[in-house]
């Protein structure tokens, strides 16, 4: 059974930083493209960032470029999202996801496995 557990979400002031982590089990982590997604109340889930199996290809949503950094540690089955210069509009539930499809993608429909999410709240 595949299990992905996110952590690191919190309440933070605008301009602050957070580092999210996602630890996966039950799959060969290095064989999966990984992604971070977020969903704010009343809005659709949107892609934040995606990273290829060996970290050679990375995509970011325009809204987070230059502020967020995705990375992965295949030896420890862990995905990270470093979030800097946080804004109130970054407030959302953040999810990690895994896909066996070949290439990184910000499209949620391409992902097979999902974590339960971690809440990020940015106060103004």
pLDDT digits over 27-51, tens only?
Answer: 999 999 999 999 999 999 999 999 9
pLDDT of 59 higher than 90: yes
Average pLDDT over residues 3-20: 97
Mean model confidence pLDDT for the chain: 97
- For residue 78, report the phi and psi dihedrals to the nearest 5 degrees: -130, 140
**Three-state secondary-structure class, residue 103:** coil
**Three-state secondary-structure class, residue 29:** helix
pLDDT digits over 15-28, tens only?
Answer: 999 999 999 999 99
d(CA 44, CA 64): 17
């Amino acid at each position: 059974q595949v299990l992905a557990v996110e952590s690191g979400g919190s309440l933070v002031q605008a301009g602050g930083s957070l580092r999210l982590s996602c630890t996966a089990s039950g799959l060969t982590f290095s064989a999966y493209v990984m992604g971070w997604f977020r969903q704010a109340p009343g809005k659709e889930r949107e892609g934040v960032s995606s990273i290829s199996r060996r970290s050679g290809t990375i995509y970011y949503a325009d809204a987070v470029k230059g502020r967020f950094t995705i990375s992965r540690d295949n030896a420890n089955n862990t995905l990270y999202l470093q979030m800097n210069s946080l804004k109130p509009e970054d407030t959302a539930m953040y999810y990690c996801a895994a896909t066996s499809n070949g290439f990184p993608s910000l499209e949620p429909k391409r992902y097979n496995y999902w974590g339960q999410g971690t809440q990020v709240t940015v106060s103004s």
